Chain A
Amino acid sequence: MRYLRALAAIIWKDLRLEWRTGEALLTPALLALLLLLVIIFALPPGVARMEGVFTASLWTALFFAGTVGLSRSFARERAEGRLWGLLLAPVDRSAVFLAKGLASFLFLALVALVTMPAFFAVFGQSLAAPLWRWVVLVGLVLLATSGAGTLVAALAAQLRAGEVLYPVLLFPLLVPVVLAAVHLTDALLAAGGWGEARAWMHMLILYNILFWGVPYLIFEYVVEV
């Protein structure tokens, strides 16, 4: 019970901070929309309708924008010893990881909720599959991203040049997630279901188990000074 209360307190605090700063929600959402504009202006006429361009544009924008928000999740805990403040909570320190990860997932989901309709509209793309399949796909991709992103953010927060190193450390880890996202999106657009891309769905679920399970178990050591 105490664990859940501490977890809820950290999420509440992150929501309050977000309400006041807009760092993890507003900035990434604007960045994703700006990337959409850049992509549309950069593509030669007609190319936007070509197979694969929509998928690549959507996920490139979401991953880059998401990284901006994720990098802030622990960066703002560095100042004034705030991370110590969290680590002094009388609960297992995995609560800090879970709370930060879940808050990041929430922000990423909101960014996707705002920007994805814009991508579908601008590229003239229909859903082509039941909405619940999109929700499952985007949910799992963002969950995987926030799990890995929170772990790397916690590690980067211990380093002097952490914020600079953050994307360099994170992107290689996210390659399997990007591949799964692209293959599964293409499958949804082409066949309305997972089809032959089902193996990518299994990989995505496995990735989530790995990048939420392992940090949950080792977070105490990750944040040890």
Chain B
Amino acid sequence: MTRRVDGRRLLDAVTLAIQPGQTLLICGPNGAGKSTLLKVAAGLVPPTAGEVLYDGRPVSRWGPGVRRRLGTLFHESLLYDELTVLDNLVFAARLFGVDDARRRAEALVDEVGLRLAAREPVARLSRGMRQRLALARALVHQPEVLLLDEPFAGLDARWTAWLTERLAAERERGTSIVLVAHEWRWAWPLADRAAVLVRGRVECLVDVREWDADRFGSEYRRLAMPAGSAGEAGTETGGWGAAGEEARS
């Protein structure tokens, strides 16, 4: 897929495939096109050239029903600040045609630890609570494909562990997961393959079973950081440089 806007190539001939039950980790520096890639995959943004295929068939030939298979988490929460936690989930469930939407929403509220805030407007939630709710929204209709942009952002250690387990369980039941993560170290154990996106191009695509995290980190830093900007490497490549290690400790 290629996506061009005002002559700029946000995605440049990207070809990626994912099988049921697999997780594809996508890393890249800011502005690499990671979020655009997810939006194109979700059908929110049309590619300038190329196509998104589901089960080998162009998405345009599936009809709108194919969106029932997708669960999405973007930087934007898709949540309504004025509505309560529960109303947001009930709405999402109804929108996706989930039977017994309220019961499903109640179950997810419990799972993401928002029972006490269930009747609070979303505007009153902390960053981490919002992220958990946005994750619950993505999972509400039990999608076959999860497109997750920075799912670990804002989560504390307890909820990071929960998400890691939850995604592993999703993978077990055959869900395909495309995971964009700046802090990719959390996602590494979940991944089957990992790609580095730089300036809209897939510069590196590796099989996680054949690469260890350190080797991938070095490769990522080499690809993502132009010569002379190594000082930023720690933050730009997920905390593998000196600055990142310091921040972690």
Residues of A with Cβ closer than 8 Å to B?
2, 5-6, 8-10, 12-13, 16-17, 20-21, 76, 79-82, 84-93, 224-225
Report the Cα distance A20→B81, complex, angstroms: 10
Closest residue of chain A to B147, judged by CB?
A88
Contact of A13 with B78 in the complex, beta carbons under 8 Å: no
Known: A13-B83, A92-B64, A93-B64. A86 touches B77 (CB 8 A): no
Note all chain A residues with C-beta closer than 8 A to B64.
89-93
Contact of B66 with A21 in the complex, beta carbons under 8 Å: no
Contact of A12 with B91 in the complex, beta carbons under 8 Å: yes
Known: A16-B87, A17-B82. A88 touches B67 (CB 8 A): yes
Note all chain A residues with C-beta closer than 8 A to B96.
89-90
Residue tally, chain B, CB below 8 Å to A: 32
Nearest chain B CB to A85 CB, angstrom units: 4
Most chain A CB within 10 A, of B64, B67, B72, is at B64
Question: Contacts A17-B80, A17-B82, A82-B80 given; 18 further ones with Cβ under 8 A?
Answer: A5-B97, A6-B95, A8-B94, A9-B95, A20-B121, A80-B81, A81-B74, A82-B79, A84-B76, A85-B95, A85-B137, A89-B64, A89-B67, A90-B66, A90-B68, A90-B97, A92-B64, A225-B45
Note all chain A residues with C-beta closer than 8 A to B82.
17, 20-21
Report the Cα distance A87→B46, complex, angstroms: 13
Contact of A88 with B70 in the complex, beta carbons under 8 Å: yes
Report the Cα distance A88→B80, complex, angstroms: 15
Nearest chain B CB to A225 CB, angstrom units: 5
Known: A21-B82, A90-B66. A84 touches B94 (CB 8 A): no
From B68, B77, B95, contact of A10 by CB (8 A): B95
Note all chain A residues with C-beta closer than 8 A to B92.
85
Asked whether any CB of chain A lies closer than 8 Å to the CB of B65, the reply is yes
Asked whether any CB of chain A lies closer than 8 Å to the CB of B42, the reply is yes
Closest residue of chain A to B122, judged by CB?
A80
Digitize B204-230: 1 where CB-to-A-CB distance is under 8 Å, 0 elsewhere.
Answer: 000000000000000000000000000
Contact of A90 with B78 in the complex, beta carbons under 8 Å: no
Contact of B94 with A5 in the complex, beta carbons under 8 Å: yes
Contact of A84 with B95 in the complex, beta carbons under 8 Å: no
Nearest chain B CB to A192 CB, angstrom units: 45
Closest residue of chain B to A95, judged by CB?
B64
Residues of B with Cβ closer than 8 Å to A?
39, 42-46, 64-68, 70, 72, 74-83, 87, 91-92, 94-97, 121, 137
Note all chain A residues with C-beta closer than 8 A to B65.
2, 90-91
Nearest chain A CB to B179 CB, angstrom units: 18
Closest residue of chain B to A85, judged by CB?
B78
Note all chain A residues with C-beta closer than 8 A to B77.
80-81
Closest residue of chain B to A91, judged by CB?
B64
Note all chain B residues with C-beta closer than 8 A to A8.
94
Question: Can you give 18 A-B contacts (C-beta < 8 A)?
Answer: A9-B91, A9-B95, A12-B91, A13-B80, A16-B91, A20-B82, A20-B83, A79-B81, A81-B76, A82-B76, A82-B79, A82-B80, A84-B42, A84-B72, A84-B76, A85-B78, A90-B64, A93-B64
Report the Cα distance A21→B121, complex, angstroms: 12
Note all chain A residues with C-beta closer than 8 A to B66.
90
Contact of B76 with A80 in the complex, beta carbons under 8 Å: yes
Note all chain B residues with C-beta closer than 8 A to A88.
42-44, 67, 70, 72
Report the Cα distance A42→B80, complex, angstroms: 41
Known: A2-B97, A6-B97. A87 touches B79 (CB 8 A): no
Nearest chain B CB to A170 CB, angstrom units: 25
Note all chain A residues with C-beta closer than 8 A to B74.
81, 84
Report the Cα distance A88→B91, complex, angstroms: 13
Report the Cα distance A86→B43, complex, angstroms: 12
Closest residue of chain B to A89, judged by CB?
B95
Report the Cα distance A20→B94, complex, angstroms: 20
Contact of B121 with A224 in the complex, beta carbons under 8 Å: no
Note all chain B residues with C-beta closer than 8 A to A81.
74-78
Report the Cα distance A193→B211, complex, angstroms: 82
Most chain B CB within 10 A, of A16, A21, A76, is at A16
Note all chain B residues with C-beta closer than 8 A to A17.
80, 82-83
Report the Cα distance A225→B44, complex, angstroms: 8
From A12, A84, A92, contact of B78 by CB (8 A): A84
